[in-house]
Amino acid sequence: MAKKKRRYICQECGYEALKWSGKCTGCNSWNTLVEEIINPKKKKKELSVTADVKAQKINDIKIGLENRKETGISELDRVLGGGIVPGSLILIGGDPGIGKSTLLLQTSYNISKKYDKVLYISGEESERQIKLRADRLGTIDSNIYILAETNLLSIVENAKDLKPDLVIIDSIQTIYNPNLESSPGSVSQVRDSTNRLMQLAKKNNIPIFIVGHVTKNGSIAGPKVLEHMVDTVLYFEGDRHYSYRILRAVKNRFGSTNEIGIFEMKQGGLEEILNPSQMFVSERPSNVSGSVVIPCVEGSRPILVELQALVSSANFGTPSRMTTGVDHKRVSLLLAVLEKKLGLHIQGQDVYINVVGGFQVDEPAVDLGLIAAIASSFRDIAIPKEFVVIGEVGLAGEVRAISQIEKRINEASKLGFSEFIIPKGNLEDLNYPDLKIHGVKNVYQALDLIS
């Protein structure tokens, strides 16, 4: 009888080791190596196989318009690229309590009302618990079938018999294949379960949502091999202390990965935010230094956010730097530009940066707005409320052109902003007779306009 082999597999990165150790040498994580038993493969006789399916010329392959299923939630459809593609495998991850199950239960209700049957499989809750939550959300429909099961083989058979229009697995870490000796949630079980579900989706043309838990550093547990196997990866972001949630696609074989959907968590579930710009700047204080409005672009959507900066005297020898919503290293770079090129002695000051509403901004086009907010707080001079500041700043203090400038201006003008500071390289072909648009070449000219 062949001897069983034992391996120690990291649950964070998938690294395999022959011996257990406290620290994974692949990702340097502590206490993540778990013992798994690997059955030796039996030697099989070599079989001669004839190819039943022949290769085709790419010109001979016929394609048509994708018959997507609309979820009834426009923000979710936007992120997916227009709806759910039949036969697709979609992974959605996020912190516990962020709203993943709520969103999928609302999606199940809309799909069941517009199309047909939905199979909701939960490995963490009982049928009664799901019924109570659905009753609170008002998402009860006779076409929604609930199955509290963790056995992968039973799940596959139920899906084949029911033939639903949508299958939801909540969550993949609780599903196990009894033919494998490793425990549920291990790398082997997650990989095998995802592979079986992918075959189920492709062969039966059934779209499947699977929920994935995240690790302490925010990535999908499983590890990354899980993201490579699916068609679409969605991340639900947001601070539990805020009511706003952001759904972001990091992988999408059927659409763009730049789109985001914005929701607000309320008592009756998740509600779509159709005008996020109004939401983020509605409570902006007037005549207060260190506050500026910046138009960002997420995918095809322009969003106005309020950026706040606070510069104060350092109480200790080492100045404090704290940022929320922007890159900490980018802020340090811009502080050096202000110190070197403008002569503002900020390096010895405490600097705090905050993007209102818990929104994350990671594009370089907000550099000029960051500099304007920091200089405004340092000089204690308020930026006029009708101003919008946008532009990328280089190390020499120059202001560089940015993309999609017209979308940003149009969005800001809808909310009543009438004066813009933009890079001079973006002034060409702009025709806005009712707006004051200032083109600047460097940070000197920008700060002169708002001081």
Judge whether 101 is annotated as a binding position: yes
Q: Give the type of residue at 446.
A: A
Judge whether 81 is annotated as a binding position: no
Q: Which residues contact 154 (CB under 8 A, 6 or more apart)?
A: none
Judge whether 313 is annotated as a binding position: no
Judge whether 98 is annotated as a binding position: yes
Are the CB atoms for 222 and 238 separated by under 8 Å? no
Give the Cα-Cα-Cα angle 203, 102, 354 (nearest 5 degrees): 115
Residue 248, both tokens: 């972001």
Judge whether 100 is annotated as a binding position: yes
Give the chain's end-to-end CA distance (angstroms, integer). Answer: 83
Residue 204, both tokens: 């039966």
**DSSP type of residue 128:** H
Distance CA 66, CA 60 (A): 18
- The DSSP annotation for 1-69 comes to -PPPEEEEEETTT--EESS--SB-TTT--BS-EEEEEEPPPPP--------SS----GGG-------PB
Judge whether 97 is annotated as a binding position: yes
Distance CA 98, CA 103 (A): 10
Are the CB atoms for 360 and 237 separated by under 8 Å? yes
Binding residues: 94-101
Binding residues for ATP: 94-101
